[in-house]
Amino acid sequence: MSMNGQPRNPKYIFVTGGVTSSLGKGIIASSLAKLLQSRGLSVTIQKFDPYINVDPGTLNPYEHGECYVTDDGAETDLDLGHYERFLNVPTSQANNVTTGRIYYNVIMKERKGNYLGKTVQVIPHITDEIKRNILQLGETGNFDIIITELGGCVGDIESLPYVEAVRQLKWDLGSDNLLVIHLTLVPYLQSAGELKTKPTQHSVKMLQESGVQPDIIVCRTEHPLPQDIRRKIALFCNVEQNSVIEAMDAETIYDVPLLMQKEKLDQRVLYMLDIYNDQDADMDAWKGFLGRYKNPIEEVRIGLVGKYVELKDAYKSIAESFIHAGAANECKVNIEWIHSESLTPENIAEKFDGLDGVLVAPGFGERGIEGKIAAVRYVRENNIPFFGICLGMQMACIEFARNVIGMPEAHSTEMAPDTEFPVIDLMEEQKNVTDKGGTMRLGAYACKLKDKTLAKKIYGKANISERHRHRWEFNNKYQKNYEAAGMVISGINPDSGLVEIVELPNHPYFIGVQFHPELKSTVMNPHPLFVNFVKAAIEYASNKKLVLS
């Protein structure tokens, strides 16, 4: 709703990509959304992914990077993480739709008899379902602008129905209400010493062949785009010259909104959508963050122990959370990516040498587990700040049972189904689940924090809500053993009694959380658990210096 309680009439912006993948459609969409939001408009971003999986939840992180979970428990593409981090507004299942979901819905409708008598076809049935999903968020009346990122590249067979849906929507909604931004690459040929526009011409032509004329062309480039190149692109691609926007490679993704502001992308969009807005985008707070991020006073080294470390995208939200928390502390956080499989009790001292904190990452399955347990033991015994997330928290509990409580065989039934001490066990409601997709404990759950604990001090309140994605949990049968041995259970789900946070009081910073705090850290709202972890690492580093001097 708008300020006067009237539903808003949304306008639609589509972001397509050409020439190659990985040009950063998600960052361009997020940056534009940020600029429009900073002008007082209500904006959201959604992503349509052309693959057949119903959601990315069952995809291996090596395949697709991290799976981002929303408050409503949707397992989504990692670009939604960027949308939330930039806009500071939560997304939901409606913000991420795949071809698999579109077909699933159409097939379910066909079985119910909704199309009785008709042959069900890509046009109009699949395209109608795509359009229905595209328009869904707009129908809430909550948004002035909906930006839709189309995954994949123009010209991919699987992208065709989406491009066709955009073509149809231009007719349905009218061209004042819909804008297409095409993101493309303008490569620099070293041998010729020139920027080349041909790939852009070809990819725009491909869009035009499908009946879609892009309104704005954003060009990724390593060198500034001179006027003659802009003129050429405008001429060949049938757009005005000031609709050719330069997107130079940026130092960080958080610079992109300011680069786009300089190129007047937001102004151009408003003009073309016929939206009157004389407010300048207020980016002061954003610039404040960038200033702190780029001019750190402190520096720490954090070990990130995981099993997918070869692919940094597998831990995207954690890495970004460290950027937010680092800026909040005016501290440069250097992440040392450590493969859990490479860690043994024998080499750990050497591998962790020089670290000021260790984060044991989320994960699934047996690979690298003993390395994670060795990591927890080392940091617990050596008073190095520790932060365990999801599987990392479970490993902290196993390590504590084995080495402090005195249950040498303690384990999780995920890795050792017959363990004598199942300190981490499958949740009751998971025991009869057989489907893999969308069946974990997913989304936001309440958690109550105990008084006089580190968790309560960090959050500064008793009731919190955090996002989950797991099947196993702390086995409450052993709560007493843990407490008797000195571990504090500081956060509990008030409805189910599930343990959500554990901590060690006689340690500078030892905290394990069953949920994923990294999914809620944003530029404007760095997550307190990360902020305080970095703070603890700074203290650890300065104490170390004192001892050495």
For ligand GLN, the binding residues (CB under 6 A) are 362-364, 390-391, 414, 469-472
Structure token digits, residue 483: 């407490």
Residue 237 φ then ψ, to 5°: -105, 5
Has 518 been annotated as catalytic?
yes
Q: How far apart are CA 439 and CA 468, in angstroms?
A: 12
Helices (H) and strands (E) in the chain, counts: 18, 23
CB of 68 vs ligand GLN, minimal distance in Å: 12
Nearer to ligand GLN, 103 or 364 (CB): 364
CB of 226 vs ligand GLN, minimal distance in Å: 48
- Residue 200, classed as helix, strand or coil, is helix
Nearer to ligand GLN, 338 or 391 (CB): 391
How far is CA 33 from its chain centroid?
A: 16
CB of 464 vs ligand GLN, minimal distance in Å: 18
Catalytic residue among 390, 397, 399, 500: 390
Binding-site residues sit at: 21-27, 62, 79, 149, 156-158, 196-201, 232, 250, 363, 391-394, 414, 471
Has 331 been annotated as catalytic?
no
Nearer to ligand GLN, 49 or 414 (CB): 414
CB of 425 vs ligand GLN, minimal distance in Å: 10
Asked whether 265 and 245 are in contact (CB, 8 A), the reply is: yes
CB of 220 vs ligand GLN, minimal distance in Å: 33
Cα-based distances in Å from 305 to 336, 341, 403: 8, 9, 20
- Residue 98, classed as helix, strand or coil, is strand
Q: How far apart are CA 151 and CA 21, in angstroms?
A: 9
Nearer to ligand GLN, 384 or 397 (CB): 397
CB of 11 vs ligand GLN, minimal distance in Å: 38
Cα-based distances in Å from 232 to 154, 197, 226, 227: 21, 8, 10, 9
Q: Is the dihedral of CA 309, 310, 316, 322 positive or negative?
A: positive
Has 390 been annotated as catalytic?
yes
Nearer to ligand GLN, 395 or 538 (CB): 395
Number of alpha carbons in the 13 Å side-chain half-sphere of residue 25: 33
3-state helix vs strand vs coil in the chain, percent to 5:
40, 20, 35
Catalytic residue among 182, 324, 516, 527: 516
Nearer to ligand GLN, 104 or 364 (CB): 364
- Exposed, middle or buried: residue 318 (CB in 10 Å: 0-12, 13-18, 19+)? buried
Element housing 206 (H / E): helix 198-209
Q: How far apart are CA 119 and CA 127, in angstroms?
A: 14
- Residues annotated as catalytic are 390, 516, 518
